[in-house]
Structure 1
Amino acid sequence: MGTTSGPEVRTASGVVRGLVDEELGVRTWRGVPFGADTSGAARFRAPRPARKWSGVRDATRFGPPAPQPTYSWTDRIIGDEDCLHLDVVRPDTDDELPVVVYLHGGSFIMGSSHEQMLRGYFLATSMDVVYVSVNFRLGVLGYLDLRSLGEDCVANPAVRDQLLALQWVQANIAGFGGDPDNVTLMGESAGGAAVTTLMSVPAAKGLFHRAIAQSPPISMIHSRAQATLWARELVYGMALPRQTTLADLREAPVGDLVRAGQSMIWRGGELIHLNASYSPTVDGGLIPDHPLVVFAEGEQAQVPLLIGTNSDETSFGKFFYLRNSARSRAALRLLSAFDPEHAPRVLEAYGGATERTEFAELLADAIFWAPSGRTATNHARMAPTWMYRFDYAPAALRWLGLGAMHSLELSAVFGDPGSSRTRGLSRWGGMEGLEELTEYMQYHWGHFIRHGHPGEEWPAYQPASDTVPPRATMVFDAESRVEYDPKATKRRAWEDYRMLEWGTGRPELLEELGLMVSQELTGRLAGP
């Protein structure tokens, strides 16, 4: 790969020198600090701007990701607490271009700005944008509200990191040839949830002008019960006394924190209740209310929104449970954790979720599709909204019964199928139409980023009227098409289901934690 020394850019903290990749036709600056080290006394606290430096900082190497597990046969931890860096990629031109700020996924516990798929070289050139990919704190260090252990911390370190990155973009991106008045905030999975969360954060308003949320688990926002539970579980997992303080956790080796945080994900079986260990928390300050409430009340950032999910997000769920009755009981259990009153109606719409396919679909819809549809419906009342469903899958995945799995659309959006985790499947064939689909999706994404709306053939998502069919959804496949109000029967089954506060259906756990269910919260937002 032919590279040469890149242009120097002055940021608020100092000058950075990147490189030019002549083969790919891009300029890139890697590991650019936007925040200071978050270790030691800064652990669990709000981020601070990057310290200034003198001279020219080399920006040709990626910065370390946030500390995280590797899920290997060892308990090795990668990353560093000095992780608040970002990477900038742009075409090798001097044009002023729209900006994309990308927040990576990884279940709030893994990932980095420079995963091969997310480096953005092909996205930047095909869509003609300045692409900014961001690192932020993860897991115990970023997405765990520890205020039950003491007030000397913030509830949402990762969200504050993302906010600081957006502020950095506004202050500095013009030097890289980006237009600070045309910024699209984009993310997938946990990164997609970060997008919708930031749309609900008053302090983030005005820092971005469009939003793209791909497969966002919007409803997986921690309630007070979850925050208290997981802070307790962390202390238990580290074999520390109940009187453990934040000062004690600041002195602990970062590897011990990450390992304990990893183990508590699986310990106790809480995942079957949709009780994820990590997520943003409604703290009444930075995040004043659940994003679903904010969208329902019209208080979100009123920017154009492109949102969607994949048709087989959790197809792995087909392999859970051997018996039909076990699947049905598990489905009712996970639904009842949020809303025991309306859970049976939802379960009935999926035939009791006794069959493998129905169970996997229910799981995907509970986590991704139903809350995304509710969000799209509410946002469409306030600002232009477009919704999609990604159906394309290689023949091998269809044969395996996995279909259009979670994150599969990234190959088409980023235009880099060679970086996909499923790239090995190409040897088996059945990839017909992917090149054309990639071109088509990049056209729509690029048009939205540049103009605030996708191409004309993709109608906006809106309620029915005398002249417009309801809930237009672009279905991306080998032969893409528009469907109106897809899965209408199932959508109606979710209308009264309350997605707001995990723990409503777990009174025994709430009593154990010394908490009461918020009747005010659980009574709100019964439907879209």
Structure 2
Amino acid sequence: MLTKAIPTTHGPVIGAEQGAVRAFKGVPFASARRFAKATPPPAWTEPRRCTDYGAYAPQPGHAPQPGHLDQAEESCLSLNIWSPAGADRTLPVLFFVHGGAFVTGGGADYDGAFLAAHGPAVVVTINYRLGPLGFLQLHRHGLREANNLAISDAVTALDWVHGNIANFGGDPDQVTLSGQSAGASMVIALATLPQAKGKFARALALSAPGRNIMSADHADNVARRLIEELELGRDPSAMASVPLPTLFAAVERVGRRIADETSSGTVFGPVLDGTVIAREPRKAFADGTLRDIPLWLGSCRDEMVMFLKSTPPAAMIRTTERNVRTAVGDTGWERLLSCYRATARVDEDPYEALLSDAFWHRPMADLARLQSAAGGAVWLSRFDHCPALEPFLSQGPTHGADNACLWAHLPNFIDRPILKRKGGPMTPADIDVAAQFQTNLLRFVTTGMPDVAEAWPRFEPAKESLAIFGQPFHIVPLNEGARVRLWAELSTSPNDKNKMREAG
């Protein structure tokens, strides 16, 4: 059944009743030409039917969607809203930025109906431009608007939500910025921007990569190499008309050659360009810019397994080892590896555990320390449960295990059409851990605290509490154990600490 028309700044929209929730899918929040900043979409006057997901951002491995063959780039900037029907008050808002290594994914992989109904809360997922269309920095090469376009897309979506979400039952002053993987990096960058100030109340980042931002020099190197690959040296601006298959193929070739040259093993990401992103996000956390924003940082226990088992292994494996060796020396590396071998669980790969700590867990803990030291409230978590769903059945609680449970419609995992993963029935253990995870998230979205009973203490210098989502849910001290002591020993001087931070 269709909903009544809801007014927005660009025109009225009609959604569909989805059980106890109203769903509005494919709502345009902006339009954009290739390598140009987003602008308001063409306005409409007649109610627009928003019952199907809009076109997701062009990306390798996916043909243009039916109905969007000629306008995929211009029409991908849409968002999806799930709002409980019949709510008697304004509700908090979960604003989610999807992951996908900055090159793939879309809001259509995350059906927010279950979370919206059980919050109750209003859930929003967004699309933003990906790969070269969203992250290629061409403002020094004749396309002056082409810098941090994906970040600008997300800011524009946040502006739209701030201005319109009250019409869907949401409270614009109670928005939680959230994201996973690449989306978590986007959230960390977004949270520190003056353009976003006052438009969100709290932030959640799940599995943010250790290096949350690219340098301007790296971004310019990628742009120059791609211009050379496409033989556009005489007219770099001609890249705006290069066919997408040709552009994606050139990016793939360039990416393979330079991924090992980066500190993160990835080619794209938010860039410290001095304009859209003027400050390194960690500096903003350190100086207390976000001290009034409650923050939840999470990761999965075996983050690196997925990347080790990819074919070939992801470049971040090689770059992470190289970065750690640079920071602590070959002797320090061997000491770390020996320590991890001596303290490994029966089912643990010591090499993977070392890399997971270096690239994922330790950088998140460092960010928590910055937030706490500046006077902000922060909670730190690790997801140790292995969902009964591939790839986790064969890889354990690796990257994305928490996200699978977060978006589950208990008692089932949901399908992820863009990621090309099927859902399926959950085990009792899956249901137990997923319910705990969702409950804490919805409490955080509603109150700014993941656990109102104080069973999960804030992360503080005197007591670095780490919440473990498993069976049972429990709290452990982060700053104990042989591994922690060795990392501390290897980073005793200020210079070493800087190197260790860069290693992540």
Q: Which residue of 1 aligns with 2:353?
A: 361
Q: CA deviation at 1:338?
A: 8.0
Task: Give the alignment of 1:12-411 within 5 angstroms.
Answer: 12-21=9-18, 24-36=19-31, 38-39=32-33, 43-70=34-61, 76=63, 80-82=72-74, 83-95=76-88, 96-115=90-109, 118-150=110-142, 152-238=144-230, 240-245=231-236, 247-267=237-257, 270=260, 274-300=264-290, 302-319=292-309, 334-337=320-323, 340-342=326-328, 344=330, 345=332, 348-351=335-338, 357-381=349-373, 382-394=375-387, 402-411=395-404
Q: CA deviation at 1:400?
A: 6.8
Give yes or no for contact 1:317–1:363 (8 Å, CA) kept in 2.
no
Q: CA deviation at 1:257?
A: 2.0
Give yes or no for contact 2:307–2:317 (8 Å, CA) kept in 1.
no
Q: CA deviation at 1:34?
A: 0.8
CA distance in 1, matches of 2:339, 2:142: 44
CA distance in 2, matches of 1:386, 1:169: 26
**C-alpha spacing 1:172/1:338, structure 2 compared with 1 (3 Å):** farther
**C-alpha spacing 1:481/1:352, structure 2 compared with 1 (3 Å):** closer
3-state SS in 1 of match to 2:73: coil
3-state SS in 2 of match to 1:287: coil
CA distance in 1, matches of 2:123, 2:85: 13
Give yes or no for contact 2:129–2:150 (8 Å, CA) kept in 1.
yes
Q: Which residue of 2 aligns with 1:6?
A: 3
**C-alpha spacing 1:338/1:35, structure 2 compared with 1 (3 Å):** farther
Task: Give the alignment of 1:431-442 within 5 angstroms.
Answer: 431-442=427-438
For residue 305 of structure 2, what is the amino acid of its counterpart? Answer: S
Q: CA deviation at 1:449?
A: 0.6
CA distance in 1, matches of 2:361, 2:173: 31
Most deviating of 333-342 and 150-159: 333-342
Give yes or no for contact 2:405–2:413 (8 Å, CA) kept in 1.
no
3-state SS in 2 of match to 1:147: coil
Deviations along 1:249-278, one digit per CA (max 9) or x if unpaired, are 112223322332234333455278633111
3-state SS in 2 of match to 1:150: coil
Task: Give the alignment of 1:448-463 within 5 angstroms.
Answer: 448-455=444-451, 456=453, 457-463=455-461
**C-alpha spacing 1:320/1:526, structure 2 compared with 1 (3 Å):** closer
Most deviating of 449-458 and 145-154: 145-154
**C-alpha spacing 1:180/1:242, structure 2 compared with 1 (3 Å):** same
3-state SS in 1 of match to 2:404: helix
3-state SS in 2 of match to 1:9: coil
CA distance in 2, matches of 1:69, 1:168: 28
Matched, 1:474 2:467: yes
Q: CA deviation at 1:242?
A: 2.8
3-state SS in 2 of match to 1:313: coil
Task: Give the alignment of 1:479-518 within 5 angstroms.
Answer: 479-485=472-478, 488-491=481-484
- Structure 1 residue aligned with 2:413, among 415, 418, 440? 418
CA distance in 2, matches of 1:136, 1:321: 27
CA distance in 1, matches of 2:217, 2:17: 50
Q: CA deviation at 1:111?
A: 0.6
Structure 1: stretches of 5+ with no match in the other structure: 465-469, 499-518
CA distance in 1, matches of 2:414, 2:151: 27
Q: CA deviation at 1:81?
A: 0.7
Q: CA deviation at 1:288?
A: 1.5
TM, length-normalised to structure 2: 0.85
Q: CA deviation at 1:524?
A: 11
Q: CA deviation at 1:402?
A: 1.9
Deviations along 1:456-488, one digit per CA (max 9) or x if unpaired, are 211111111xxxxx2101100121110111665
3-state SS in 2 of match to 1:6: coil
Give yes or no for contact 1:137–1:161 (8 Å, CA) kept in 2.
yes
Q: CA deviation at 1:398?
A: 10
**C-alpha spacing 1:291/1:181, structure 2 compared with 1 (3 Å):** same
3-state SS in 2 of match to 1:184: strand
**C-alpha spacing 1:187/1:479, structure 2 compared with 1 (3 Å):** same
CA distance in 2, matches of 1:148, 1:488: 49
Q: CA deviation at 1:374?
A: 0.7
3-state SS in 2 of match to 1:482: strand
Give yes or no for contact 2:386–2:393 (8 Å, CA) kept in 1.
no
CA distance in 1, matches of 2:254, 2:116: 38
Q: CA deviation at 1:403?
A: 1.3
CA distance in 2, matches of 1:525, 1:317: 21
Q: CA deviation at 1:443?
A: 1.4
CA distance in 2, matches of 1:338, 1:276: 17
3-state SS in 1 of match to 2:361: helix
For residue 457 of structure 2, what is the amino acid of its counterpart? Answer: P
